[in-house]
């Protein structure tokens, strides 16, 4: 996709699982005019803590402030930006498409390349699950647009640092 990729940042935040922590983190971004594109929060292996993955757009200088201000919050253990080189990212999408022979053949054709799985085939509609990188999800969305997408939801980006240390 032709989005300004340079300005999209992936940030991981480890937080203590306390009430209001999401609000506090979101406020740090909002106050500085940063748009959050996606935000994923889930409890970690130790449910005392949660991991957030945030993708956001804006200039790098403001981002540096945002990371420091987020890291400073009492309930935040750490906050870091990740690049493609030091981490893996994945995203999941669910797409609802009009059921047709044409669609089905397109799915079969792209199944392997785009990590597709049919999760439901109902009357007139088919729901596909896609698992891959954000770029792969963007590409497949583009391909399917001409067939007409009824609905699409995406999980938002998940990030994990490479190597033996936790993110």
Residue numbers of the site for another protein (CB under 8 A)? 15-16, 19-20, 23-24, 27, 31, 48-49, 64-65, 68-69, 71-77
Give the shortest CB-64-to-another protein separation in angstroms.
7
Which CB atom, from 64 or from 120, has the smaller least distance to another protein?
64
Give the shortest CB-61-to-another protein separation in angstroms.
9
Question: How far is 122 from 136, CA to CA, in rounded Å?
Answer: 26
Instruction: Please tell me what DSSP assigns to residue 34.
Output: P
Give the shortest CB-164-to-another protein separation in angstroms.
22
Which CB atom, from 72 or from 145, has the smaller least distance to another protein?
72
Which CB atom, from 23 or from 45, has the smaller least distance to another protein?
23
Give the DSSP H or E segment for 133. Answer: none
Residue 116: alpha-carbon gap to chain centroid: 17
| Residue found by looking up tokens 């340079």 in the block | 6
Question: How far is 80 from 27, CA to CA, in rounded Å?
Answer: 17
Give the shortest CB-5-to-another protein separation in angstroms.
25
Query: How far from 24 is each of 68, 72, 163, 167, CA to CA, in Å?
Result: 13, 11, 30, 21
Residues in the chain, overall count = 167
Which CB atom, from 23 or from 101, has the smaller least distance to another protein?
23
């Amino acid at each position: 996709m032709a989005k300004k990729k340079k300005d999209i940042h992936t940030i991981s935040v480890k937080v203590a699982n306390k009430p209001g922590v999401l609000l506090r983190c979101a406020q740090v971004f909002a106050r500085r005019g940063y748009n959050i594109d996606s935000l994923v929060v889930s409890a970690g292996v130790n449910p005392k803590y949660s991991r957030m993955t945030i993708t956001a757009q804006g200039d790098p200088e403001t981002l540096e402030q945002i990371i420091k201000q987020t890291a400073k919050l009492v309930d935040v253990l750490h906050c870091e930006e990740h690049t493609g080189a030091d981490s893996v990212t994945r995203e999941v999408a669910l797409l609802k498409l009009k059921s047709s022979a044409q669609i089905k053949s397109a799915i079969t054709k792209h199944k392997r390349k785009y990590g597709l799985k049919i999760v439901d085939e109902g009357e007139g509609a088919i729901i596909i699950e896609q698992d891959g990188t954000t770029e792969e999800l963007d590409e497949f969305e583009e391909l399917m647009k001409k067939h007409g997408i009824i609905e699409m939801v995406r999980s938002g980006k998940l990030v994990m640092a490479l190597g033996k240390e936790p993110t």
